[in-house]
Chain A
Amino acid sequence: MDLGDTIRNSQIWKSIFRHPMPVDRRNRIVVMLTNFFLHLHPVSIKKQGIALSYTWCMGGVTFFLFLAETVTGVLLMFYYRPTLEWAYQDILALRDVTTLGILRELHRWGAHGMVITVWLHMYRVFLTGSYKPPREFNWVVGVILLLLTLLLSFTGYLLPWDQLAIWAITVGAGMARATPLLGYEGPGAQLLQLGGIPMITNASDARFGLLGARFVGEETLNRFYILHCIAIPLAVALLIAIHFWRVRKDGGISGPL
């Protein structure tokens, strides 16, 4: 008996994988049903549903990038402190001294990549008419995921705390000041007064809520850090779970009836 067989026959191995190697039909089915990571998938699938030329694998690529972002992101958190004093310094260190500085590149390009692939995924879903019944709701879940993907990218953009970062966020988040009724430069905001005192000022409007201050400052950094590292990823993870669940429940990948 060679080493491989010894390992595969050990109690430890067998406690993890509850079946022999998936080399025959029966065990190829069993593996799909008993493995946690694989049970996302059905056991068998229509050939056209896995044709790369049909799905472009773009949903899958987006998911992969999300996972890659999670891993590199967690690792980056070990090196980064979201304060005015340290944020820029820590990024500088990642560039110049940290051995695993490439994590930052992986994380940044992965984020850009994810924005691109999520658009391409939506493009494919539209072009194959896959949002049509019974998949309407999963398309809606998808749109929310698209929005959250952009917000993830946007909140992350601030964290390096360089000129590129704060001005991009200043321009982007600045739009909120013009929110109708709720922004202090938005149409109708002047109408919201309480006994002659304006309710919507630059210290109480939508932009203030977003930035935590009147300008992009330390409060903003803190806010965006928490949104970027905790709140939005959790929401995305939940929605991806629902999204995948619905792909299965709606009858698998779409195809001609």
Chain B
Amino acid sequence: MHTNVAEFLEDISGFLGSYYLTLGIMNALAALYLWKQRGKGALALLWLVVGMVYVILSPLAMSGSAAAVPQLPEGLRNFIDANTGPVIYSVGTTAILVILYLFRAFFVRPVVAWSILNLSLLYMGLSMADPEFAAIVTKPDNVPIVALVFLLGFFTWLATSKAVENDRRAEEGLPPQEKEDNEKVLVWPDLVYTELICMLALTAILLLWGIGLKAPLEEPASSVKTPNPSKAPWYFLGLQEMLVYFDPWYAGVVLPSLIVVGLMAVPYIDFNRKGNGYYTISERPFSYLMFQFGFLELWITLIILGTFLRGPNWNFFGPYEIWDTHKVLALNNVDLSQYFWEGLLGRGMPKASPGAPTFTALGYILLRELPGILVLGMYFLLLPPLMATTIFRGFFVKMGFVRYMVLANLLLFMASLPIKMVLRWSFNLKYIVSVPEYFLNF
């Protein structure tokens, strides 16, 4: 960890300098590309100017002096740290996804997409001048996640712009773009050469990556020195983040199993025959939205949260905040049964007298947790038929009983996570059903 900011800036100046230079070149190339097309001169000029700004930033960053290195104002960083938390983060990312979806026709326009890319890269650069931010992002095992975020952004843009185009064509009664390319070509040379070039490029990338970034190696394993925080490998951090809201049996065993089963079930529950073999959104909005929500929001953003924003004791830390082991957050979460018996009825929780036979004790536990059991029972047993006769009526008719039940239950399990999150944030609800006697908390 860099305690001395001046030293830190010195260290990172080389990286930042070449980073901005690369961004400058990137924009210059875009300008060149547009210049060659007719009638895009104004845009070319725009990106040329942007590129030049980066080229000016580059030596400033290279200087490594606190006064010159471009960075976010301290006040803004403190504001971001003070005002972010799991709630803002999750609600915010969901809202962003919704906006991107609703106005997708606008966001896929190359000018807009390129501007967003530029802004996010600039934001990265400015943030990298912050020692805390840099310390986490440049941890060798975290670098791939940064790559993942940008790759996902790019491919989502690519897929969405193709889908938007195809949907527009469909409105005009034209077949999808993919259909235009129906001509057959020989695999040698067309595919074999592409593959060869890909392999060479990948080998080069892997070698450069290997030379540029050392694999991490910490102190030798010690079973007595527990690091704080102890984190699973990055691709499981979404699951670890779920542990905030659920017990391990559910977040660590049941939900992951259901993710695998649910993914396998996808082709068998998606009865919509349209949208096979081309990009489209409006011909399959339901499956599209469910997948995007599950993948981008419940998997990817949770991984990002778990990696970059969860520090010691799994507390939330803003992106520029020092990971202080002593940060204490008051936890006053309350079980539903407690809300019911003590809050609502104003009496003690039902409890078997000590030494009562197991059977009696069990009866009391059931009684105590009755409110939660009823809630869960309604959620998992009542909702599927209810939905079948209302919002999912069409689905139910087309899918038949078994398929529909599989779909409904998978959706309910998936929804249990965001629902529990919201309940926790708004009511400090700890468990809906809490039977610690049998490790059965939900």
Interface residues, chain A, with chain B CB atoms under 8 Å away: 22, 25, 28-29, 31-32, 38, 41-48, 50-54, 56-57, 60-61, 64-65, 68, 88, 91-92, 95, 102, 104-106, 108-110, 112-113, 115-116, 119-120, 122-124, 126-133, 135-136, 139-140, 143, 146-147, 150, 153-154, 157, 160-168, 170-172, 174-180, 183, 185-191, 215-217, 254-257
Contacts and interface: CB of A to CB of B under 8 A. Distances in A.
Given A176-B253, A187-B438, A188-B438, A105 B209 contact: yes
A228 to B, nearest CB: 13
Interface stretch (B276-284, B377-385, B407-415): B276-284
Contacts of A216: 223
A136 B267 contact: yes
Given A163-B225, A186-B253, A64 B199 contact: yes
A47 B182 contact: yes
Given A166-B221, A256-B277, A116 B247 contact: no
Given A47-B182, A127-B159, A105 B267 contact: no
Contacts of A140: 264, 267
Given A123-B159, A153-B235, 4 more contacts: A116-B147, A130-B277, A135-B267, A255-B278
B390 interface: no
Contacts of B158: 53, 56
A106 B253 contact: no
Nearest to A172: B232
Contact of B248 (A68, A91, A174): A174
Interface residues of B, number: 91
A89 to B, nearest CB: 9
B178 A31 contact: no
A22 B192 CA distance: 12
B186 A168 contact: no
A175 B252 contact: yes
Nearest to A136: B267
Contacts of B184: 44-47
A117 to B, nearest CB: 9
A175 B248 contact: yes
A112 B151 CA distance: 14
7 contacts: A52-B194, A105-B215, A112-B144, A130-B276, A140-B267, A255-B178, A256-B278
Interface string B171-211: 00001101111111111111110110011001100110111
Given A25-B186, A48-B182, A57-B198, A132 B220 contact: no
A120 B296 CA distance: 11
B163 interface: yes
B155 interface: yes
Nearest to B266: A131
Given A64-B199, A162-B220, A167 B230 contact: yes
